[in-house]
């Protein structure tokens, strides 16, 4: 076993690797950028090395700096985590050339599976079923469009390098093929440095089911059963589970055998995942699944496999990379119970799942699972940490396990209801709505589920009067244990002729709220809301909804929903009327990738004006109303959240 390893990653996966390394007595070296100088993974590791500025291209993607840090600290091996350099065969070659061990597959295995088209040709030779489509080298638009017609619409254009939904477009009609191809190529080039694509038949009711495989350097390979990752938005996974609901013995046997066959075809060593697309239009059948791609690394969703098999996959990675054989044979790996993993992100589900930033002023996870269940919280952040625009906005992975799917789903609901995040927009309400969806609850999932039910899943009910009353009370700081009180906030203080009352102003979205808060002799508080709200009866502090106070805001938690109320500073000058009523602002930090209009152009509502790239995904910014463009951002501009992208001429302006 290694004495010391370096982890070439950040966030929750770095923390995850550190925990297993510590259990095995292996010392760890963390690497960090400027933005991560005080990050949790840096604090947890035995040592840490600075590798550059915040942008990933200047830090976490600098293989030379990472290798130099490993050599300088005496690390014997490098664990890549996932993302960044984890599937970069050139980096693997550089690691081994430096006399270090790469904790993962060989560069040859990564190259064999790194390009989707080549991988599918290899799988065809190995006897693994692949999706009908064009996987050739020629990339001329005329040829690709012709192949799409031969395959039959709808088709799916996919970047041949990478994954995560980047560089992927569904096309339903030949007239839309050219535009979709251009968008897929731009996105693929930005994300992977390779704009080549493949074209495949789009499966009408696709299930995304993947098999965890593991190999060693002695020719052994096993599977650790399947995971269902069909619950996706924008081709990115949201909630994963193991085993797959509705899985039949025949399909499991065929799929796991194909997965092991695929791993052995490339002499695979380490943790890997064989992803299959399954046609669920007529139920799960053993002849209706096809190889999609292989991820030659540890997956984000690996904890659900660990929960149902009792295997520590990171421990297996360290043991195999250090020269040991697989710890278990296929017959010794058993499947027990059911597990879910939900990805908690800083994102706005109601705005197309746009990434969000902000400081996590309040962050609280359930301290214990409900009876009959087990739970894991995988995170790389703490209260007070910032979600920056430089990296993936994942806050945590919430993982539950129970004896069966129904019990595990109940535990997931309970965990959502007890998770509290304030300071950034998060997706917990969306996750809870998805878990409660009738089709999802019944196990009737496919990759189009979220898209079909999107409006219902992202809708959040308006806060109740009780929630508003709680926000008003929290805004006074009254009753907050341990908080220093002043004469204005200590409502239970002395008043000579009448009860002391404080007026509180709140804002929720576009709504301004005025409340009157007063203390009662028995320790309760009376909160009255002005019209259109009714007066609220007395509230006992012990039964008030959970709240969190953070700069300029109060968040009230009701179930999985966090209602954020702004608490305006009465001394601040309101200038909202002048706040760009004739302008369009960036909804998130990003790069202006493409501009489709110019100064002086008349535009209509809904017309695409520019494309903003954020988190390696493209977002179309459209005109919110008819008008004439007075000013528009330039291509290549890096903008922050709230930057004016487009300014419209005022009426009468010439």
- Phi and psi at residue 255, in whole multiples of 5°? -70, -45
10 Å CB burial of residue 464 (0-12, 13-18, 19+) is: middle
Let me know if 297 is a catalytic residue: yes
Residues sharing a CB contact under 8 Å with residue 247, sequence separation 6 or more, in sequence order: 209, 226, 284
207 in Cβ contact with 253 (< 8 Å): no
Residues sharing a CB contact under 8 Å with residue 148, sequence separation 6 or more, in sequence order: 134, 155, 171, 174, 177, 199
Which single residue is written with the structure tokens 């924008």?
Answer: 234
Residues sharing a CB contact under 8 Å with residue 606, sequence separation 6 or more, in sequence order: 622, 623
Report the SS3 class of residue 196.
coil
Report the SS3 class of residue 113.
helix
Other Cβ atoms less than 10 A from the Cβ of 570: the count is: 7
Other Cβ atoms less than 10 A from the Cβ of 25: the count is: 9
Q: Which helix (H) or strand (E) holds 237?
A: strand 236-242
Going by C-alpha positions, the residue among 149, 10, 138, 152 that lies closest to residue 79 is 10
31 in Cβ contact with 60 (< 8 Å): yes
Helix axes 141-151, 177-192, angle to 10 degrees: 110
Token digits of residue 557: 């938690």
Question: C-alpha angle with apex 371: 365 to 376, nearest 5 degrees?
Answer: 35
In 540-636, DSSP assigns E strands to 546-550, 553-558, 561-566, 583-585, 590-595, 602-603, 608-614, 617-622, 627-632
Letter string b/e over residues 528-546, b meaning 16 or more CB atoms within 10 A of that residue's CB: bbeeeeeebeebeeeebbe
Determine which one of 160, 297, 405, 524 is catalytic.
297
- Phi and psi at residue 481, in whole multiples of 5°? -60, 135
Token digits of residue 650: 């005022």
Q: How many CA atoms lie within 13 A of 46 on its CB side?
A: 18
Dihedral (CA of 143, 617, 352, 209) sign: positive
In degrees to the nearest 10, what's the CA dihedral of 625, 626, 632, 635?
80
317 in Cβ contact with 79 (< 8 Å): yes
Q: Which residues are catalytic?
A: 297
């Amino acid at each position: 076993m290694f004495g010391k390893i370096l982890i070439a990653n950040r966030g929750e996966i770095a923390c995850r690797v550190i925990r297993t390394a510590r259990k095995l007595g292996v010392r760890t070296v963390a690497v960090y950028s400027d933005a991560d100088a005080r990050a949790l993974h840096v604090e947890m590791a035995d040592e840490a090395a600075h590798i550059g500025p915040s942008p990933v291209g200047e830090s976490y993607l600098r293989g030379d700096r990472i290798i130099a840090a490993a050599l300088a600290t005496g690390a014997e091996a490098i664990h890549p985590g996932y993302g960044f350099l984890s599937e970069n065969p050139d980096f693997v070659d550089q690691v081994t050339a430096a006399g270090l061990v790469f904790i993962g597959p060989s560069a040859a295995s990564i190259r064999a599976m790194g390009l989707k088209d080549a991988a599918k040709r290899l799988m065809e030779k190995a006897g693994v079923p692949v999706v009908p489509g064009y996987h050739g080298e020629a990339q001329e638009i005329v040829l690709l469009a012709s192949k799409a017609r031969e395959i039959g619409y709808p088709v799916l254009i996919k970047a041949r390098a990478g994954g995560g939904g980047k560089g992927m477009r569904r096309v339903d009609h030949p007239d839309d093929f050219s535009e979709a191809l251009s968008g897929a190529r731009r996105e693929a080039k930005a994300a992977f440095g390779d704009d080549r694509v493949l074209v495949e038949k789009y499966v009408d009711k696709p299930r995304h089911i993947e098999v965890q495989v593991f190999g060693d350097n002695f020719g052994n390979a096993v599977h650790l059963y399947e995971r269902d990752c069909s619950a996706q938005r924008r081709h990115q996974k949201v909630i994963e589970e193991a085993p797959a609901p509705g899985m039949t013995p025949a399909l499991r046997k065929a799929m796991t055998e194909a997965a092991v066959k695929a791993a052995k075809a490339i002499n695979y060593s380490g943790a890997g995942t064989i992803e299959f697309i399954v046609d669920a239009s007529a139920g799960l059948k053993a002849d209706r699944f096809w190889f999609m791609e292989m991820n030659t690394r540890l997956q984000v969703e690996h904890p659900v496999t660990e929960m149902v098999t009792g295997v520590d996959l990171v421990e297996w990675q360290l043991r195999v990379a250090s020269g040991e054989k697989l710890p278990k044979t296929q017959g010794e790996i058993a499947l027990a119970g059911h597990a879910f993993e939900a990805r908690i992100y800083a994102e706005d589900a109601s705005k197309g799942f746009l990434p969000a930033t902000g400081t996590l002023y309040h962050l609280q996870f359930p301290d214990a699972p409900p009876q009959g269940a087990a739970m894991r919280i995988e995170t790389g952040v703490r209260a007070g940490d910032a979600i920056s625009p430089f990296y993936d906005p994942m806050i945590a992975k919430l993982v539950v396990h129970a004896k069966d799917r129904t019990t595990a789903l109940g535990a997931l609901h309970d965990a959502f209801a007890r998770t509290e995040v304030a300071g950034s927009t998060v997706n917990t309400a969306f996750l809870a709505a998805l878990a409660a969806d009738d089709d999802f609850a019944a196990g009737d999932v496919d990759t189009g589920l979220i898209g079909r039910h999107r409006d219902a899943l992202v809708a959040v009910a308006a806060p109740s009067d009780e929630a508003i009353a709680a926000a008003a009370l929290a805004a006074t700081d009254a009753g907050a244990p341990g908080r220093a009180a002043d004469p204005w906030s200590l409502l239970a203080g002395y008043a000579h002729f009448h009860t002391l009352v404080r007026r509180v102003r709140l804002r929720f979205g576009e709504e301004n709220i005025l409340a009157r808060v007063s203390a009662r002799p028995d320790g309760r508080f009376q909160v009255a809301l002005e019209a259109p709200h009714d007066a609220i009866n007395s509230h006992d502090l012990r039964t008030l909804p959970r709240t969190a106070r953070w700069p300029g805001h109060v968040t009230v938690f009701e179930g999985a929903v966090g209602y954020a109320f702004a608490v305006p500073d009465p001394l601040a000058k309101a200038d909202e009327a002048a706040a760009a009523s004739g302008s369009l602002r960036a909804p998130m930090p990003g790069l202006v990738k493409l501009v489709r209009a110019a100064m002086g152009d008349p535009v209509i509502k809904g017309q695409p004006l520019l494309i903003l790239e954020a988190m390696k995904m493209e977002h179309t910014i459209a005109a919110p109303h008819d008008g004439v463009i007075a000013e528009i951002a330039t291509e290549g501009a890096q903008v922050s959240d709230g930057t004016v992208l487009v300014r419209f001429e005022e009426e009468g302006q010439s």
